[in-house]
Amino acid sequence: MSHHLVEAIGLTHVYEDGTTALRDVTFRITHGESVAIIGANGAGKSTLLMHLNGHLSPTSGEVRIGEASITKATLPGIRRTVGLVFQDPDDQLFMPTVFDDVAFGPRNLGLAEGDVERRVREALQCVGVWNVRAKPPYRLSGGEKKRVAIAGVLAMSPDILVMDEPTSGLDPRARRQLIGLLREFSHTRIFTSHDLDMVLELCPRTIVLFEGTVMADGPTQEIFNDDALLERCQLERPLAMQACTGRPQS
Amino acid sequence: MHMADALLSPTVGGAMGAVTAAAVAWCSRTVRNEGDDRLVPLMGVLGAFLFAAQMINFSIPGTGSSGHLGGGLLVAILLGPNAAFLVVASVLIVQALFFADGGLLALGCNIFNLGFLPAFVGYPLYRIIAGGTPSPPRSTVAALAAAIVSLQLGAMAVVLETVASGISALPLKTFALFMLPIHLAIGIVEGVVTAAIVSFVRTARPGLLSPSSARSQPIAGPATAILAVALVLGGIGAWFASRNPDGLEWSVAHSARAAEVPTPGTPAHASLDRVQQATVLLPDYQFRNAPAGADQKRLGTSVAGIVGGFLTLVLAVLLGWALKARPSRR
Amino acid sequence: MSAPAVLASLLDFRRLDQLATADSAVHRIDARAKVIVTLAFIVCVMSFGRHEIARLLPFFAFPILIIMLAQLPAALLLRKTVLVLPVALLIGLPNPLFDRDVLLQVGGVNISGGWVSMLSIALRALLAAAASVVLVAVTGFPAICGALEQLGMPRPLAVQLLFLYRYLGVLGEEALRMEYAYHLRSNGRSLSIGDYGRVAGRLLMRTWDRAERIYLAMCARGFTGEFITGVPTRFGATECLFVVAWCALFAVLRTQDVAQRLGTAVIGVLS
């Protein structure tokens, strides 16, 4: 369906201080795809994410969500369609209780309180944390916070789920549970991550950014087998694909 | 510098509460009309920052004691006076509820002393001296002046609020002579520390402090602010003065008898005398004026009274147990 | 207070808040009623003349009864209440120094009005602290904010309070970590003013960045400036009864010398 389309066309972004964060980025992500955007720190991943929900405007080029260009008029619709989950859940969970936080989005949409409650329940049950709905955020574990943050975004019924470093800061068990959860989703999914093993598990397609430019865009397996590319972009293979001796390529 | 409930009478607390509530309402409306959405999370986390920054102590050179940041002036420099006032108010409310740090009745006084004065008297002074984008020395001087003035006024406000309440036996002159010099020192420290933080921010992120940003809001003229302060404090004083027309002679005679603090004829003392004559003392002083051996029952300190007091508590506990025994859970 | 001590009391205050999630008849009463009663309590207590002692004592019945009815942990609340005592004694200290008029004689010892009023100050402080501690323990901070807003506090301040409360712990821990890191390299010396300026400045920068990210997260979920808090709560018959009953009791205790009469009666019976 076309409204799940995410498209960047010649996207360029130059910050006020003159840094070029994105250079002529072009890609097209279609309905239901699960795509990872990887790159070294400073490669432009976060900047790209902020374009996808319209928080930043391109210096040149454009971003289209569902074939509609992002403008001031289309912004509310874009924010409903594209659900953005931030890296640090503490930045996202700002309400006194879990319930209130997940309800924040639906309430902003102007829904009646009954609908709000239904959406909150569905979202929390979907990620498996309905039981902590009355707790304040500081009483949640890292994994629970992450899941509540996702629920907060799910409650807005987005078609496209964008997540910034989903597994960062999680202990192995929480990470495993999150990967299992993300595998279930049928949304179009876009992740940025340093966790290349998660990328291998969840994302058939990967886009590699280096210094604001798209260096590669294709099947994940192929990209992770291209050692020269990874080297150039200051990356390396996922642990699962490194030589049997376990030593990383140097 | 915090007023405590225990030293406050409801009249003074209520009066200051009303003044503070009006200021809160006005600032809330102004902040909301500004329409800067970013202020919503920014004010919140800056309040948490104030709390957190107050937790870290630093040592004051030459005294061996430690101090901590007040922060009202700093937030005013960062956000403008209206938002800063709300931020400080929120910090004090949380402190009153959780740390019994001042008290709920005293909130009106504390928010005024520690929030209104730095934001609407100190900050305009800072702006006047510092101008648009001051050099570091000028910024330091401005911060020092602003902090000293705010804290002196705040200290005087505490003195007046305490004396007007009549619970403490401290005479106004003694209290003022104690509070003002101490808060001069505190004001100097506050000014220096505020300037240190401001200069760090200026080097690290100059854009944050530009007065052309949306955060520099229209400032109530310093004259208006000082006038408002004077009206409030004078009002409280006048109210009490009108209740005790002959309290003047009594207070002078009593101070001479009870207070053994020598009163040299310095200008400070002369002006304090004038202030004291304006804010005359309270009904309770008349009460103490009663001859010794007066009806002790009035004093509430008789043995019977104390026994009865404890008895009511015992009764309360028994009542509590009795109520708990009934199945009250549905 | 040093940072670790303050952080400890910070976490302790969360315990108070968690107590509010329990269930009892008192907990279920609308927050507005509890706030109103607490304010009435404090006003009554503070309106006594400075030499009152006996008439203050019955007022302890309010926190005691609420603790019992709501089944709150008395030891914890007592501990938090008593924390106020050192400061209370300090601010009461001038009274014996300046008020030397002898008020009564007990067994040949002259007790001046100053000592009496100092004790009175201590009692007031305990009562005020007890009232606020109990209020938080049966209501919880978010509900108190909601109550204040429904009672007329402007929305911007209510929102401000919620954010402050939410991020207190986060920033408190950040500050603690930064101070600890400093101590590890400063050989145990405490911060100079210049270094404090840098540490606090750094914390301020991080706070500012965090505010940006939170703002991003809010916009991403449809925030357009109007903060919509939850459903308004119900103020029904139970609440009216609660408010009227307690205020009536406070009025009686304030105007009638219940303590005196009870004590006289009992002593009369015994003697």
3 state SS for C112-151: EHHHHHHHHHHHHHHHHHHHHHHHHHHHCHHHHHHHHHHC
Q: What percent of chain A has pLDDT over 70?
A: 96
Say whether pLDDT at B259 is over 50. no
C137, C214: one domain: no
Q: How confident is the model at residue C91 (pLDDT cuts 50, 70, 90)?
A: confident
Structural domain includes residue C17: yes
- Residues of chain A in contact with residue C213, where contact means CB-CB under 8 angstroms, are 86, 88, 91
- Return the closest-CA partner of residue C84 out of C128, C118, C138: C128
Structural domain includes residue C264: no
pTM of the entire structure?
Answer: 0.82
- Measured between alpha carbons, how far is A11 from A54 in angstroms, rounded to an integer? 13
* Pairwise CB contact (< 8 Å): C217 & A94: yes
Tell me if chain B has a CB within 8 Å of the CB of C28.
no
C50, C139: one domain: yes
* pLDDT for the residue C2: 55
Say whether pLDDT at B151 is over 90. yes
Q: How confident is the model at residue B230 (pLDDT cuts 50, 70, 90)?
A: low
List, as ranges, residues 232-271 from B with C-beta within 8 Å of C. Answer: 258-259
Do C1 and B101 meet the contact criterion of CB atoms below 8 Å apart?
no
Give buried/exposed letters for C232-249 (b at 16+ CB in 10 A, else e): eeebeeebeebbeebeeb
Burial class (CB within 10 angstroms; exposed 0-12, middle 13-18, buried 19+) of B320: middle
Say whether pLDDT at A69 is over 50. yes
Structural domain includes residue C269: no
* pLDDT for the residue B325: 56
Q: Where are the beta strands (DSSP E) in chain C?
A: 102-106, 109-112
Chain C residues within 8 angstroms (CB to CB) of chain A? 14, 17-18, 21, 141-142, 162-163, 165-167, 169-170, 210, 213-214, 216-224, 228-231
* Pairwise CB contact (< 8 Å): C163 & B44: yes
CATH code for the domain of B151: 1.10.1760.20
* pLDDT for the residue B216: 44
Q: What residues have CB less than 8 Å from A65, skipping those under 6 apart?
A: A3, A5, A6, A7, A52, A74, A78, A81, A82, A160
Query: Which chains have 3+ CB pairs within 8 A of B?
Result: C
Mean pLDDT of B191-204: 91
Least confident of A18-32, A107-121, A183-197, C101-115: C101-115
* pLDDT for the residue A248: 57
C192, C114: one domain: no
* pLDDT for the residue B64: 74
- Measured between alpha carbons, how far is A69 from A80 in angstroms, rounded to an integer? 15
C136, C168: one domain: no
Structural domain includes residue C211: yes
CATH of the structural domain A2-241, one choice from 3.30.460.80, 2.80.10.50, 3.40.50.300, 3.40.50.620 = 3.40.50.300
C110, C138: one domain: yes
Beta strand A188-192 with A34-39 is parallel
Structural domain includes residue C226: no
Residue of A nearest to C169 (CA): A138
Report the number of distinct structural domains present in chain B.
1
Nearest C-alpha of chain B: how many angstroms from C146? 14
Residue pLDDT, tens place only, B72-126? 999 999 999 999 999 999 999 998 888 766 688 899 999 999 999 999 999 999 9
Structural domain includes residue B314: no
C112, C246: one domain: yes
* Pairwise CB contact (< 8 Å): C222 & A97: no
**Does the CA dihedral B226-B227-B228-B231 come out positive or negative?**
positive
Least confident of A27-31, A116-120, B52-56, C160-164: B52-56
- Residues of chain A in contact with residue C206, where contact means CB-CB under 8 angstroms, are none
Least confident of A167-181, B26-40, C11-25, C27-41: C11-25
C104, C48: one domain: yes
Nearest C-alpha of chain C: how many angstroms from B274? 21
C86, C128: one domain: yes
* pLDDT for the residue C112: 83
How many residue contacts between A and C have a Cβ separation below 8 Å? 71
Say whether pLDDT at C132 is over 80. yes
- Residues of chain B in contact with residue C154, where contact means CB-CB under 8 angstroms, are 24-25, 28-29, 32
C170, C185: one domain: yes
Question: What phi and psi values does residue A93 have, to the nearest 5 degrees?
Answer: -95, 90
* Pairwise CB contact (< 8 Å): B37 & C172: no
Beta strand A60-65 with A68-69 is antiparallel
- Residue spans per domain, chain A: 2-241
Structural domain includes residue C267: no
Say whether pLDDT at B241 is over 60. no
C16, C128: one domain: yes
Between B4 and B268, name the one with better pLDDT. B4
Report the number of distinct structural domains present in chain C.
2
Domain span holding position B27: 5-286
CA distances in angstroms from A140 to A92, C170, C190, C215, listed in the order given = 13, 13, 34, 22
Residue pLDDT, tens place only, C183-224? 888 877 788 888 999 999 999 999 999 999 999 999 999 888
Structural domain includes residue C171: yes
Mean pLDDT of C224-240: 81
* Whole-complex ipTM: 0.89
Domain span holding position C181: 155-220
Structural domain includes residue C268: no
* pLDDT for the residue B330: 39
Alpha-carbon B215 to chain mean position: 25
- What tokens appear for C253 in the block? 């205790």
* pLDDT for the residue C103: 77
Neighbours of B91 (CB within 10 A): 27
- Measured between alpha carbons, how far is B142 from B185 in angstroms, rounded to an integer? 16
Radius of gyration of chain C (CA): 24
- Measured between alpha carbons, how far is C218 from B42 in angstroms, rounded to an integer? 12
Q: How far apart are the first and last CA of chain A?
A: 44
